Chain A
Amino acid sequence: MAIRERLSGNEAVALAIKQINPDVMPAFPITPSTEIPQYVANYIANGQMDTEFIPVESEHSSMSATVGASAAGARALTATSSCGMALMWEELYVAASNRLPLALTLVNRALSGPININCDHSDSMGARDSGWLQIYAENNQEAYDNMIQAFRISEHKDVLLPIMICQDGFITSHAVENIELLEDDVVKAFVGEYQPEHYLLNPEEPMAVGPYAVSNYYMETKMGQRTAMNHARQVILDVAEEFAAISGRHYGFFEEYHLEDADYAVLIIGSAAGTCKDAVDALRANGKKVGLLKLRVFRPFPAVEIAAALAHCKSVAIMDRSDSFSGNGGPLGAEVSQALYNARSNVLSVNYIYGLGGRDIRVEDFEDIYSRLETIAETGTVVDQYDYIGLRK
């Protein structure tokens, strides 16, 4: 029987970690993810988990120790945000190239500077090329559900890649919402025992991890990572289907909200999708054919599926909660545009940057965006292809 609760995103993810009961969790505090290791430490202090917590002296060490624990044969994860993740940078690549199926629960927060503790996606988007799987949540329920699916995806023998489970700082991590939880034994059965094939602490087979690879070998390791990332597509869908069977909640690469017959679409990641849904509801009540594509899986990037889902639209606003400073758009803008181009799509697209450093985006902002999309479609002309939304006047 599902359990009805009211939890913040951090509480929900911490509870998922408790139910997964992993072997090792090194972590270092950083707002707004600090609560996650705090809750875990409390569960351990009260005998509710078998996990060993390592209170490391930095985020570089938290990811380094997670890499060590995972290579040793343990199911391991850590938590962080923003600059903490930036400090882990080097280790993100090491984890991925060593093909370690470890997890990072990331509470998205703006990178410095100026220092800012609120939500944007500059931390995880900056790590988009590090070889990690990335799954994003709109709310606490999705953060919890994604966390429960995480190790099933990353540990799959065809994948063996680290996984990042992202939720929006404060908006999701600290807001308390209704949630439906699974029972402990259901989660335990779903996640299963971790049985690595090769690991340092295997008495039958010593193993060496982290070689120096010269040009003769380096490139094949990258191809291996790419192949694994491609395999992850089907695994993510299969795990989601199994998860639906125990939870009744269905997940894919993305959620389509009134998208099927929409002329004007917004493509967005994370909590702002909830705000956008309100705008869609309001505009639909007025007969406007508007819709939303909420991206859940950013790595691997479902380019073909996105292009197909938007194929019938007249115009789309690709919403980025971080800027790449390429001078040519945000990260999502670049990748979705490429997907549309490769699919020979006729949909006109704009790329809007919003919500940096926790700047609010309101229902009215989305209504305005849909109105811009309508104008673009009517005139066939894209003005301000790359624009910031909600700047101070």
Chain B
Amino acid sequence: MATTYNFKEEMNKPERLAPGHRMCAGCGGTIAVRAVLRALHEGDKAVIGNATGCLEVSSFMYPYTAWQDSYIHNAFENAGATLSGVETAYHVLKKKGKLDDTYKFITFGGDGGTYDIGLQSLSGAMERGHDLVYVCYDNGAYMNTGIQRSSATPKFADTTTTPVGTQSNGKLQGRKDLAAIIAAHNVAYVGQSTFLGNFKDLHTKAETAIYTTGPAFLNIMAPCPRGWGYEASDIMDICKMAVETCYWPLFEVIEGKWILNYEPKKKLPIEDFLRSQSRFKHLFKPENAELIEQFQEEVNRRWETLQYNCSRN
């Protein structure tokens, strides 16, 4: 494990996701990928897995690939199972003396491929104990197909399958707590992070996830400018507000122990997170004040549960 984190040094590392891919400006997905891959130690090789989604269709469009490491995309719902096969092959080839090099296994999926259609495959991979990292870049909807709701979409968000209308205030349900679901698999490591300041939080969690033996899961909030409706340059502010409002808390679960990594000195009201995103703009109509209250109550309740989980150590 690296002892100190030096932002400048990290940013000067060779990119393992090359420029020239077709992801949007201001996309959180590629920021997440680059941040996670920077945590790979020099000289260590990796096989990268990828569920179908924006990231896949924009980074590996035949005959070009942006990936410097070996990479496999299989389908939408099976990134967990696919990398299980790759990782198992690695152990056999090692055992048979056909391979000397050290490889790490990291797979990326959006929330559609992770929370929803790929949940079973992910659960299987985690439960079986494969030595791999599953990274969910969570942008809270099926963005690749055009902003449809997922089980990671927050309550009241305006999506193309939960459109706001005269009889609708957006999505009716709250978010699925996937990090807790994966933690309940009793895996080696679960970390939740997003893009903050010098990226130390995310970098440290990625490094821990990659270099912890056994299954690890990273849940990274990765805003989508198209789906959330914000100015591309605002992404870091939005992430900061997500953490300062306790909408997206930073925590880890190590061998079943919950650890809170950051507690805001003054928890900001949820409006500070919602305001800059057009998917929530209907909430700011005077007649919808009650909806924001409901949103705030849900954030409070989840924050208290997290605090309780972390207090039991």
Residues of chain A having any CB pair with chain B under 8 Å: 23-24, 26, 50-52, 54-58, 60-62, 64-74, 76, 90-91, 94, 200-203, 206-214, 217
Name B78-103 residues within 8 Å CB distance of A. Answer: 78, 80-86, 88-93, 95-96, 99-101, 103
A201 and B89: CB pair below 8 A? yes
Contact at A26–B121, with CB atoms within 8 Å? no
A208 touches B71 (CB 8 A): yes
Question: Do residues B85 and A76 form an inter-chain contact, with CB atoms below 8 A?
Answer: yes
| Contact indicator A71/B86 (Cβ below 8 Å) | yes
Partner of B99, one of A51, A71, A201, A209: A201
**Are B82 and A64 in contact, with the CB atoms below 8 A?**
yes
The answer on a CB contact under 8 Å between B75 and A90 is yes
How far does the alpha carbon of A217 sit from the alpha carbon of B64 in the complex, in Å? 12
Docked CA distance A26–B89 (Å): 11
Cβ distance A290 to chain B, nearest Cβ, rounded Å: 48
Contact of B84 among A68, A71, A73, A206 (CB under 8 A): A68
Residue of A nearest to B85 (CB): A68
Which residues from B are CB-within-8-Å of A73?
89, 93
Contact between B73 and A211, CB atoms less than 8 A apart: yes
Contact of B74 among A24, A56, A94 (CB under 8 A): A94
B127→A67 contact, CB < 8 A: no
Q: Is the CB of A210 within 8 A of B72?
A: yes
Q: CB within 8 A of B89: which of A55, A76, A214?
A: A76
Could you name 7 residue pairs across A and B whose Cβ atoms are closer than 8 Å?
Answer: A58-B120, A65-B81, A67-B82, A74-B85, A200-B72, A207-B71, A212-B73
Across the interface, do A201 and B93 meet the contact criterion of CB distance under 8 Å? yes
Is the CB–CB distance between B88 and A54 below 8 Å? yes
A64 to B72, CA, bound (A): 11
Q: A24-B92, A203-B101 are in contact. Are A67 and B61 (CB under 8 A)?
A: no
Which of B57, B60, B89, B123 is A208 in contact with, Cβ under 8 Å? B60
Q: Which of B75, B77, B82, B127 has the most CB of A within 10 A?
A: B82
Q: Do the beta carbons of A64 and B86 come within 8 Å of each other? A: no
- Pair B121/A68 contact, Cβ less than 8 Å: no
The residue on B at minimum CB distance from A194 is B98
How far is the CB of B168 from the nearest CB of chain A, in Å?
33
For residue B166, CB closer than 8 A to chain A, the reply is: no
Known: A60-B81, A67-B74. 15 other contacts (CB 8 A): A24-B92, A54-B128, A57-B121, A61-B78, A68-B49, A69-B86, A74-B89, A200-B70, A201-B70, A206-B45, A206-B67, A206-B70, A208-B60, A210-B74, A211-B61
Q: How far is the CB of B89 from chain A (nearest CB, A)?
A: 4
A128 to B88, CA, bound (A): 30
Q: Considering the chains assembled together, what is the distance between the CA atoms of A217 and B63 in angstroms?
A: 9
CB–CB A210/B69 < 8 A: no
Q: Which parts of B96-142 form the interface with A (CB within 8 Å)?
A: 96, 99-101, 103, 120-121, 123-124, 127-128
Q: How far, in angstroms, from A172 to B93 measured CA to CA in the complex?
A: 34
Once the chains are docked, how many angstroms separate the CA of A72 from the CA of B105? 11
In the assembled complex, the CB of B107 is this many whole angstroms from the nearest CB of chain A, namely 10
In the complex, the number of residue pairs spanning A and B with C-beta atoms less than 8 Å apart equals 163
Please state if B91 and A52 are interface contacts (CB–CB under 8 Å).
yes
Identify the closest chain B residue to A71 (Cβ). Answer: B72
* Residue numbers in A under 8 Å from B69 (CB-CB): 206
Q: How far is the CA of A55 from the CA of B71 in the complex (A)?
A: 24
Set of chain A residues within 8 Å of B78, measured between Cβ atoms: 60-61, 64, 91
B61 and A212 form a contact (CB under 8 A): yes
Of the candidates B49, B92, B101, B127, the one whose C-beta lies within 8 Å of that of A57 is: B127
**Complex CA distance for A73 and B99, rounded to whole angstroms:** 11
Verify B89–A60 contact, CB threshold 8 A: no
In order of increasing CB-CB distance, the 4 nearest A-B pairs are A68-B85, A65-B85, A57-B124, A61-B81
The residues of A that contact B92 with a CB separation of less than 8 Å are 23-24, 50-52, 74
Task: Please tell me if B158 contacts chain A, counting CB pairs below 8 Å.
Answer: no
Check if A208 sits within 8 Å of B85, measured CB to CB: no
Contacts A61-B124, A203-B45, A206-B68 given: A211-B62 contact, CB under 8 Å? yes
B89 touches A68 (CB 8 A): yes
| Complexed CA–CA distance, A222 and B42 (Å) | 39
A312 vs B61: C-alpha distance in the bound complex, in angstroms? 53
Q: A68-B89, A212-B62 are in contact. Are A55 and B47 (CB under 8 A)?
A: no
Partner of B85, one of A64, A207, A217: A64
Query: B residues within 8 A CB of A70?
Result: 85, 89
Q: Which residue of B lies closest to A78 (CB)?
A: B85
Q: How far is the CA of A279 from the CA of B71 in the complex (A)?
A: 56
What residue of chain B has the Cβ atom nearest to residue A57's Cβ? Answer: B124
Cα separation A72 to B65 with both chains bound (whole Å): 18
In the bound complex, CA of A62 to CA of B67 (Å): 26
A220 to chain B, nearest CB (A): 10
Instruction: Give Cα A93 to B95, complex, Å.
Output: 31
Q: Are B120 and A57 in contact (CB under 8 A)?
A: yes
Q: How far is the CA of A66 from the CA of B69 in the complex (A)?
A: 21
Is the CB of B201 closer than 8 A to any CB of chain A? no
Closest residue of chain B to A93, judged by CB? B75
> In the complex, what distance in Å separates the CA atom of A68 from the CA atom of B84?
7
B79 to chain A, nearest CB (A): 9
Contact B62 A68 (CB under 8 A): no
The answer to whether B128 touches A200 (Cβ under 8 A) is no
**A50-B92, A50-B96, A209-B72 given; A55·B128 CB < 8 A:** yes
Q: Which of B81, B100, B120 has the largest count of A CB atoms less than 10 A from its CB? A: B81
Distance (Å) between the CB of A269 and the closest chain B CB?
30
Give bound CA distance, A71 to B84, whole Å: 12
Indicate if B244 sits at the interface (CB-CB under 8 A).
Answer: no
Complex contact A213–B62 (CB within 8 A):
yes
Of the candidates B56, B72, B84, B93, the one whose C-beta lies within 8 Å of that of A74 is: B93
Contacts of A64 in B (CB 8 A): 74-75, 78, 81-82, 85, 121
Contacts of A90 in B (CB 8 A): 75
Q: What is the distance, in angstroms, from A213's C-beta to the closest C-beta of chain B? A: 4
- Known contacts A24-B92, A201-B89, A210 near B60 by CB under 8 Å: yes
